[in-house]
Structure 1
Amino acid sequence: MTGSPLLRPEDCSVVLVDEQAGLAFAAGSSDRQVLRSNAVALARTAVAFEVPIVVSTSASKVYSGPLMPPLRAVLPGATPIERRNMNLWEDEATKSAILASDRRVIVIAGLLTEACVSFPVLSALAEGHEVRVVADACGGLTSASHDAALRRMEQAGAVMTSWLQFLLELQRDWTRHDTYEASRSIVVDHGGGYGIGLDYARDMIKPA
Protein backbone atom coordinates (compact mmCIF):
# COMPACT_ATOMS: atom_id res chain seq x y z
CA MET A 1 0.00 0.00 0.00
CA THR A 2 1.35 3.42 -0.92
CA GLY A 3 0.94 6.61 1.05
CA SER A 4 -1.00 6.95 4.30
CA PRO A 5 -3.05 3.92 5.37
CA LEU A 6 -5.89 6.34 6.20
CA LEU A 7 -8.06 7.45 3.31
CA ARG A 8 -8.85 11.01 2.32
CA PRO A 9 -11.88 11.89 0.18
CA GLU A 10 -9.63 12.68 -2.77
CA ASP A 11 -8.08 9.21 -2.63
CA CYS A 12 -11.12 7.11 -3.40
CA SER A 13 -14.18 6.33 -5.42
CA VAL A 14 -17.20 4.30 -4.30
CA VAL A 15 -18.80 1.51 -6.30
CA LEU A 16 -22.27 0.20 -5.46
CA VAL A 17 -23.06 -3.14 -7.07
CA ASP A 18 -26.56 -4.51 -7.59
CA GLU A 19 -28.25 -2.75 -4.68
CA GLN A 20 -31.59 -4.07 -5.92
CA ALA A 21 -34.54 -5.56 -4.06
CA GLY A 22 -34.57 -8.80 -6.03
CA LEU A 23 -31.07 -9.55 -4.80
CA ALA A 24 -31.71 -8.22 -1.30
CA PHE A 25 -34.46 -10.84 -0.98
CA ALA A 26 -31.76 -13.49 -1.44
CA ALA A 27 -29.32 -11.97 1.05
CA GLY A 28 -29.57 -14.08 4.20
CA SER A 29 -26.22 -13.23 5.74
CA SER A 30 -27.56 -10.33 7.80
CA ASP A 31 -30.76 -8.47 8.57
CA ARG A 32 -31.97 -6.98 5.27
CA GLN A 33 -33.13 -3.71 6.80
CA VAL A 34 -29.74 -3.21 8.42
CA LEU A 35 -28.01 -4.14 5.19
CA ARG A 36 -30.02 -1.57 3.25
CA SER A 37 -29.43 1.06 5.95
CA ASN A 38 -25.69 0.44 5.77
CA ALA A 39 -25.69 0.83 1.97
CA VAL A 40 -27.60 4.11 2.29
CA ALA A 41 -25.15 5.32 4.95
CA LEU A 42 -22.25 4.52 2.62
CA ALA A 43 -23.89 6.38 -0.27
CA ARG A 44 -24.63 9.38 1.94
CA THR A 45 -21.01 9.40 3.11
CA ALA A 46 -19.77 9.50 -0.47
CA VAL A 47 -22.12 12.39 -1.24
CA ALA A 48 -21.13 14.31 1.89
CA PHE A 49 -17.43 14.09 1.06
CA GLU A 50 -17.88 14.54 -2.72
CA VAL A 51 -16.44 11.11 -3.45
CA PRO A 52 -17.28 9.89 -6.98
CA ILE A 53 -19.87 7.11 -7.05
CA VAL A 54 -20.42 4.50 -9.74
CA VAL A 55 -23.67 2.54 -9.53
CA SER A 56 -24.12 -0.66 -11.49
CA THR A 57 -27.20 -2.87 -11.77
CA SER A 58 -28.07 -6.13 -13.47
CA ALA A 59 -31.25 -7.86 -14.66
CA SER A 60 -33.25 -4.84 -13.52
CA LYS A 61 -36.10 -5.56 -15.97
CA VAL A 62 -36.43 -9.28 -15.43
CA TYR A 63 -35.57 -10.20 -11.85
CA SER A 64 -33.61 -7.82 -9.67
CA GLY A 65 -35.59 -4.61 -10.04
CA PRO A 66 -34.22 -1.07 -10.09
CA LEU A 67 -31.83 0.50 -7.63
CA MET A 68 -33.60 0.45 -4.26
CA PRO A 69 -35.69 3.59 -3.56
CA PRO A 70 -33.73 4.87 -0.53
CA LEU A 71 -30.56 4.86 -2.63
CA ARG A 72 -32.33 6.56 -5.52
CA ALA A 73 -33.36 9.27 -3.05
CA VAL A 74 -29.79 9.75 -1.85
CA LEU A 75 -28.33 9.62 -5.38
CA PRO A 76 -30.88 11.45 -7.56
CA GLY A 77 -28.29 12.31 -10.19
CA ALA A 78 -26.86 8.81 -10.51
CA THR A 79 -27.66 6.77 -13.60
CA PRO A 80 -27.04 3.08 -12.86
CA ILE A 81 -24.98 1.32 -15.50
CA GLU A 82 -26.89 -1.80 -16.50
CA ARG A 83 -24.84 -4.83 -17.39
CA ARG A 84 -25.25 -8.53 -18.19
CA ASN A 85 -22.01 -9.86 -16.74
CA MET A 86 -21.81 -10.84 -13.06
CA ASN A 87 -18.33 -9.33 -13.00
CA LEU A 88 -18.62 -5.61 -13.57
CA TRP A 89 -14.87 -5.49 -14.20
CA GLU A 90 -15.59 -7.40 -17.41
CA ASP A 91 -18.22 -4.83 -18.44
CA GLU A 92 -16.42 -2.12 -20.39
CA ALA A 93 -18.85 0.70 -19.56
CA THR A 94 -18.75 0.06 -15.81
CA LYS A 95 -15.02 -0.51 -15.62
CA SER A 96 -14.36 2.63 -17.66
CA ALA A 97 -16.60 4.70 -15.38
CA ILE A 98 -14.68 3.49 -12.32
CA LEU A 99 -11.27 4.14 -13.85
CA ALA A 100 -12.37 7.57 -15.14
CA SER A 101 -12.38 8.94 -11.58
CA ASP A 102 -8.61 8.33 -11.46
CA ARG A 103 -8.67 7.59 -7.72
CA ARG A 104 -6.12 5.25 -6.19
CA VAL A 105 -8.57 3.30 -4.00
CA ILE A 106 -11.79 1.60 -5.06
CA VAL A 107 -14.29 1.28 -2.21
CA ILE A 108 -16.94 -1.30 -3.06
CA ALA A 109 -20.13 -2.74 -1.58
CA GLY A 110 -23.16 -4.56 -2.88
CA LEU A 111 -25.04 -7.78 -3.50
CA LEU A 112 -24.30 -10.64 -3.56
CA THR A 113 -20.93 -10.97 -1.87
CA GLU A 114 -20.18 -14.37 -3.39
CA ALA A 115 -20.18 -13.16 -7.00
CA CYS A 116 -21.06 -9.61 -8.01
CA VAL A 117 -18.91 -8.12 -5.24
CA SER A 118 -16.05 -10.60 -5.05
CA PHE A 119 -15.52 -11.07 -8.80
CA PRO A 120 -14.73 -7.39 -9.60
CA VAL A 121 -12.70 -7.07 -6.41
CA LEU A 122 -10.52 -10.03 -7.35
CA SER A 123 -10.21 -8.76 -10.93
CA ALA A 124 -9.26 -5.22 -9.86
CA LEU A 125 -6.70 -6.54 -7.38
CA ALA A 126 -5.17 -8.71 -10.10
CA GLU A 127 -4.63 -5.56 -12.17
CA GLY A 128 -2.87 -3.80 -9.31
CA HIS A 129 -5.65 -1.63 -7.91
CA GLU A 130 -6.11 -0.97 -4.21
CA VAL A 131 -9.55 -2.09 -3.03
CA ARG A 132 -11.50 -1.74 0.18
CA VAL A 133 -14.65 -3.77 0.75
CA VAL A 134 -17.37 -2.30 2.95
CA ALA A 135 -18.20 -5.65 4.51
CA ASP A 136 -21.29 -4.61 6.45
CA ALA A 137 -22.86 -3.13 3.30
CA CYS A 138 -22.41 -6.44 1.44
CA GLY A 139 -24.86 -9.29 1.66
CA GLY A 140 -24.46 -12.94 0.77
CA LEU A 141 -26.80 -15.88 0.43
CA THR A 142 -25.76 -17.29 3.82
CA SER A 143 -23.48 -16.11 6.59
CA ALA A 144 -21.02 -18.88 5.77
CA SER A 145 -20.81 -18.10 2.06
CA HIS A 146 -20.63 -14.34 2.73
CA ASP A 147 -17.77 -14.84 5.20
CA ALA A 148 -15.96 -17.17 2.81
CA ALA A 149 -16.16 -14.56 0.05
CA LEU A 150 -14.84 -11.86 2.39
CA ARG A 151 -11.93 -14.10 3.39
CA ARG A 152 -11.09 -14.86 -0.23
CA MET A 153 -11.01 -11.16 -1.11
CA GLU A 154 -8.92 -10.34 1.95
CA GLN A 155 -6.46 -13.12 1.15
CA ALA A 156 -6.12 -11.65 -2.35
CA GLY A 157 -5.23 -8.24 -0.89
CA ALA A 158 -8.49 -6.37 -0.33
CA VAL A 159 -8.86 -4.38 2.89
CA MET A 160 -12.06 -4.92 4.86
CA THR A 161 -13.86 -1.95 6.37
CA SER A 162 -17.33 -0.83 7.48
CA TRP A 163 -19.46 2.13 6.45
CA LEU A 164 -18.87 3.78 9.84
CA GLN A 165 -15.12 3.31 9.72
CA PHE A 166 -15.11 4.73 6.20
CA LEU A 167 -17.08 7.81 7.31
CA LEU A 168 -14.93 8.41 10.39
CA GLU A 169 -11.76 7.87 8.37
CA LEU A 170 -12.80 10.65 5.99
CA GLN A 171 -14.03 12.98 8.77
CA ARG A 172 -11.17 12.24 11.22
CA ASP A 173 -11.81 15.35 13.29
CA TRP A 174 -15.22 16.56 14.46
CA THR A 175 -13.94 20.14 14.19
CA ARG A 176 -13.88 19.80 10.39
CA HIS A 177 -16.88 22.05 9.98
CA ASP A 178 -17.47 21.62 6.24
CA THR A 179 -18.60 18.04 6.67
CA TYR A 180 -19.53 17.99 10.36
CA GLU A 181 -23.31 18.33 10.05
CA ALA A 182 -23.58 15.85 7.18
CA SER A 183 -21.41 13.31 8.98
CA ARG A 184 -23.25 13.74 12.24
CA SER A 185 -26.61 13.32 10.50
CA ILE A 186 -25.50 10.07 8.86
CA VAL A 187 -24.35 8.64 12.18
CA VAL A 188 -27.55 9.74 13.93
CA ASP A 189 -29.72 8.12 11.27
CA HIS A 190 -27.74 4.91 10.75
CA GLY A 191 -25.32 4.51 13.65
CA GLY A 192 -27.52 2.91 16.29
CA GLY A 193 -26.40 3.68 19.83
CA TYR A 194 -23.58 5.91 18.63
CA GLY A 195 -26.12 8.06 16.81
CA ILE A 196 -28.35 8.20 19.88
CA GLY A 197 -25.30 9.35 21.85
CA LEU A 198 -24.60 12.16 19.41
CA ASP A 199 -28.18 13.39 19.75
CA TYR A 200 -27.91 13.17 23.52
CA ALA A 201 -24.65 15.10 23.53
CA ARG A 202 -26.17 17.89 21.44
CA ASP A 203 -29.05 18.19 23.91
CA MET A 204 -26.84 18.06 26.99
CA ILE A 205 -23.79 20.08 26.06
CA LYS A 206 -24.62 23.75 25.91
CA PRO A 207 -22.24 26.29 24.39
CA ALA A 208 -20.64 28.62 26.89
Structure 2
Amino acid sequence: MNQLEQLLIWLLAFMTCSESISFSYRGCYVDSSSSRDLNGLLGVSNIGELSITFGGYVYNKTTMTHELCGSVCSLGGFRYFGIQVGEQCFCGNSFGVHGAAGESQCSNLCTGNSGQKCGAANRNSVFELSYPNKNVYTVLKQNSLTVISPHPGRLLPKSDADCLLWCSATADCQAAVFSQLQLECHLLAFAYPPASLTGPDWTLYQRG
Protein backbone atom coordinates (compact mmCIF):
# COMPACT_ATOMS: atom_id res chain seq x y z
CA MET A 1 0.00 0.00 0.00
CA ASN A 2 1.48 3.35 -1.01
CA GLN A 3 1.49 6.60 0.95
CA LEU A 4 -1.49 8.06 -0.91
CA GLU A 5 -3.62 4.96 -0.31
CA GLN A 6 -2.74 5.01 3.40
CA LEU A 7 -3.70 8.68 3.63
CA LEU A 8 -7.02 8.17 1.86
CA ILE A 9 -7.91 5.23 4.12
CA TRP A 10 -7.06 7.25 7.22
CA LEU A 11 -9.01 10.30 6.03
CA LEU A 12 -12.02 8.12 5.22
CA ALA A 13 -11.96 6.78 8.78
CA PHE A 14 -11.43 10.31 10.12
CA MET A 15 -14.37 11.79 8.24
CA THR A 16 -16.62 8.83 9.12
CA CYS A 17 -15.84 8.67 12.84
CA SER A 18 -15.48 12.31 13.77
CA GLU A 19 -18.05 15.06 13.80
CA SER A 20 -18.42 16.64 10.40
CA ILE A 21 -16.18 19.58 9.54
CA SER A 22 -17.59 22.13 7.13
CA PHE A 23 -15.91 24.74 4.97
CA SER A 24 -16.89 27.77 2.92
CA TYR A 25 -15.28 29.45 -0.08
CA ARG A 26 -13.48 32.74 0.56
CA GLY A 27 -12.19 33.55 -2.92
CA CYS A 28 -9.21 33.47 -5.27
CA TYR A 29 -5.98 34.85 -3.81
CA VAL A 30 -2.45 35.53 -5.02
CA ASP A 31 0.40 33.33 -3.78
CA SER A 32 4.17 33.48 -4.17
CA SER A 33 6.60 30.57 -4.19
CA SER A 34 9.10 32.72 -2.28
CA SER A 35 6.59 33.86 0.37
CA ARG A 36 3.69 31.49 0.84
CA ASP A 37 0.33 33.01 1.71
CA LEU A 38 -0.89 29.87 3.49
CA ASN A 39 2.26 28.80 5.30
CA GLY A 40 1.05 26.56 8.10
CA LEU A 41 2.92 23.49 6.84
CA LEU A 42 6.26 25.20 6.28
CA GLY A 43 8.86 23.49 8.43
CA VAL A 44 6.69 20.38 8.83
CA SER A 45 8.29 17.39 7.13
CA ASN A 46 5.43 14.97 7.56
CA ILE A 47 2.05 14.34 9.13
CA GLY A 48 2.33 10.72 10.11
CA GLU A 49 3.45 8.91 7.00
CA LEU A 50 2.24 11.73 4.75
CA SER A 51 5.15 13.75 3.37
CA ILE A 52 5.03 17.54 3.16
CA THR A 53 7.01 19.13 0.34
CA PHE A 54 9.82 21.61 0.95
CA GLY A 55 7.43 24.28 -0.32
CA GLY A 56 5.01 23.59 2.54
CA TYR A 57 2.17 21.78 0.79
CA VAL A 58 0.66 18.37 0.14
CA TYR A 59 0.20 17.46 -3.49
CA ASN A 60 -1.94 14.84 -5.18
CA LYS A 61 -1.78 14.48 -8.94
CA THR A 62 -4.87 12.29 -9.27
CA THR A 63 -7.43 12.75 -6.48
CA MET A 64 -7.17 16.28 -5.06
CA THR A 65 -10.54 17.77 -4.10
CA HIS A 66 -11.81 20.49 -1.79
CA GLU A 67 -12.85 17.78 0.68
CA LEU A 68 -9.47 16.04 0.67
CA CYS A 69 -7.48 19.23 1.23
CA GLY A 70 -9.89 20.38 3.92
CA SER A 71 -9.55 17.05 5.71
CA VAL A 72 -5.75 17.22 5.59
CA CYS A 73 -5.68 20.76 7.01
CA SER A 74 -8.25 19.92 9.67
CA LEU A 75 -5.82 17.33 11.07
CA GLY A 76 -3.76 20.29 12.27
CA GLY A 77 -6.72 22.43 13.28
CA PHE A 78 -5.94 25.09 10.67
CA ARG A 79 -8.52 27.76 9.97
CA TYR A 80 -7.98 27.99 6.22
CA PHE A 81 -6.92 25.84 3.30
CA GLY A 82 -6.09 26.68 -0.27
CA ILE A 83 -5.56 24.67 -3.43
CA GLN A 84 -3.56 25.69 -6.48
CA VAL A 85 -2.70 24.23 -9.91
CA GLY A 86 -5.36 21.59 -9.31
CA GLU A 87 -3.23 19.42 -7.03
CA GLN A 88 -1.37 21.39 -4.32
CA CYS A 89 -2.95 21.73 -0.88
CA PHE A 90 -1.87 24.50 1.53
CA CYS A 91 -2.94 25.12 5.14
CA GLY A 92 -2.79 28.21 7.34
CA ASN A 93 -4.43 30.40 9.96
CA SER A 94 -4.43 33.60 7.88
CA PHE A 95 -4.43 34.52 4.21
CA GLY A 96 -4.47 37.44 1.80
CA VAL A 97 -1.01 38.93 2.36
CA HIS A 98 -0.46 39.16 -1.42
CA GLY A 99 -3.98 40.38 -2.15
CA ALA A 100 -7.00 39.02 -3.95
CA ALA A 101 -7.12 37.85 -7.56
CA GLY A 102 -9.98 37.77 -10.03
CA GLU A 103 -12.10 34.63 -9.96
CA SER A 104 -11.15 33.88 -13.56
CA GLN A 105 -7.54 33.43 -12.41
CA CYS A 106 -8.47 30.38 -10.30
CA SER A 107 -9.55 28.28 -13.25
CA ASN A 108 -7.67 24.98 -12.86
CA LEU A 109 -9.87 21.95 -12.23
CA CYS A 110 -9.19 19.73 -9.24
CA THR A 111 -7.45 16.51 -10.25
CA GLY A 112 -9.97 14.49 -8.25
CA ASN A 113 -13.15 16.35 -9.23
CA SER A 114 -13.53 18.14 -12.55
CA GLY A 115 -16.56 19.96 -11.16
CA GLN A 116 -14.41 21.85 -8.64
CA LYS A 117 -12.00 24.74 -9.21
CA CYS A 118 -8.59 24.40 -7.57
CA GLY A 119 -6.67 27.63 -8.15
CA ALA A 120 -3.92 28.02 -10.74
CA ALA A 121 -0.19 28.78 -10.79
CA ASN A 122 0.46 31.01 -7.75
CA ARG A 123 -3.28 31.39 -7.26
CA ASN A 124 -5.09 29.77 -4.33
CA SER A 125 -8.74 28.88 -4.17
CA VAL A 126 -9.13 29.64 -0.45
CA PHE A 127 -11.65 28.09 1.94
CA GLU A 128 -12.43 28.63 5.62
CA LEU A 129 -12.87 25.60 7.88
CA SER A 130 -15.52 25.47 10.61
CA TYR A 131 -15.07 23.12 13.53
CA PRO A 132 -17.47 21.67 16.12
CA ASN A 133 -16.91 22.22 19.84
CA LYS A 134 -13.13 22.03 20.40
CA ASN A 135 -13.53 20.39 23.80
CA VAL A 136 -15.69 17.51 22.60
CA TYR A 137 -13.72 14.36 21.83
CA THR A 138 -14.43 11.46 19.50
CA VAL A 139 -12.75 8.07 19.73
CA LEU A 140 -11.18 7.47 16.31
CA LYS A 141 -9.24 4.29 16.88
CA GLN A 142 -8.68 1.78 19.65
CA ASN A 143 -6.13 -0.95 20.33
CA SER A 144 -2.90 -1.74 18.52
CA LEU A 145 -2.49 1.93 17.67
CA THR A 146 0.95 3.16 16.66
CA VAL A 147 1.58 6.84 17.30
CA ILE A 148 4.31 9.41 17.80
CA SER A 149 4.24 12.43 20.07
CA PRO A 150 5.68 15.76 18.89
CA HIS A 151 6.16 16.74 22.52
CA PRO A 152 9.21 15.46 24.43
CA GLY A 153 8.63 13.11 27.34
CA ARG A 154 5.36 11.64 28.43
CA LEU A 155 2.45 12.65 30.63
CA LEU A 156 1.33 10.36 33.43
CA PRO A 157 -2.42 10.72 33.97
CA LYS A 158 -4.61 8.76 36.34
CA SER A 159 -7.30 8.36 33.71
CA ASP A 160 -8.25 9.23 30.14
CA ALA A 161 -10.14 12.23 31.57
CA ASP A 162 -6.85 13.70 32.81
CA CYS A 163 -5.32 13.18 29.37
CA LEU A 164 -8.20 14.97 27.64
CA LEU A 165 -8.11 17.84 30.14
CA TRP A 166 -4.43 18.38 29.32
CA CYS A 167 -5.25 18.37 25.60
CA SER A 168 -8.04 20.92 26.14
CA ALA A 169 -5.62 23.18 28.00
CA THR A 170 -3.04 23.01 25.20
CA ALA A 171 -3.78 25.32 22.27
CA ASP A 172 -2.05 23.24 19.58
CA CYS A 173 -3.34 19.86 20.78
CA GLN A 174 -5.56 18.38 18.06
CA ALA A 175 -5.73 14.85 19.47
CA ALA A 176 -4.56 12.76 22.41
CA VAL A 177 -3.62 9.12 22.79
CA PHE A 178 -4.09 7.34 26.10
CA SER A 179 -2.99 3.94 27.38
CA GLN A 180 -5.05 2.57 30.25
CA LEU A 181 -2.56 -0.23 30.78
CA GLN A 182 0.49 2.02 30.98
CA LEU A 183 -1.32 5.15 32.22
CA GLU A 184 0.46 7.26 29.61
CA CYS A 185 -0.84 10.22 27.65
CA HIS A 186 0.63 11.80 24.53
CA LEU A 187 -0.64 15.02 22.98
CA LEU A 188 -0.60 15.35 19.18
CA ALA A 189 -0.34 18.56 17.17
CA PHE A 190 -1.84 16.67 14.21
CA ALA A 191 -4.71 14.20 14.54
CA TYR A 192 -2.94 11.53 12.56
CA PRO A 193 -1.32 8.39 14.00
CA PRO A 194 2.24 8.04 12.68
CA ALA A 195 4.57 5.18 13.54
CA SER A 196 7.05 5.23 16.39
CA LEU A 197 5.51 4.96 19.84
CA THR A 198 3.73 1.64 20.23
CA GLY A 199 1.41 0.40 22.94
CA PRO A 200 -0.93 -2.55 23.49
CA ASP A 201 -4.05 -0.55 24.29
CA TRP A 202 -3.71 2.96 22.87
CA THR A 203 -6.90 4.91 22.24
CA LEU A 204 -6.83 7.94 19.94
CA TYR A 205 -9.16 10.84 20.79
CA GLN A 206 -9.86 13.48 18.13
CA ARG A 207 -10.49 16.96 19.55
CA GLY A 208 -13.51 18.76 18.13
The answer to whether TM tops 0.5 is no
Q: Which has the higher strand share?
A: 2
Q: TM-score, normalised by structure 1?
A: 0.27
| TM-score normalised to structure 2 length | 0.27
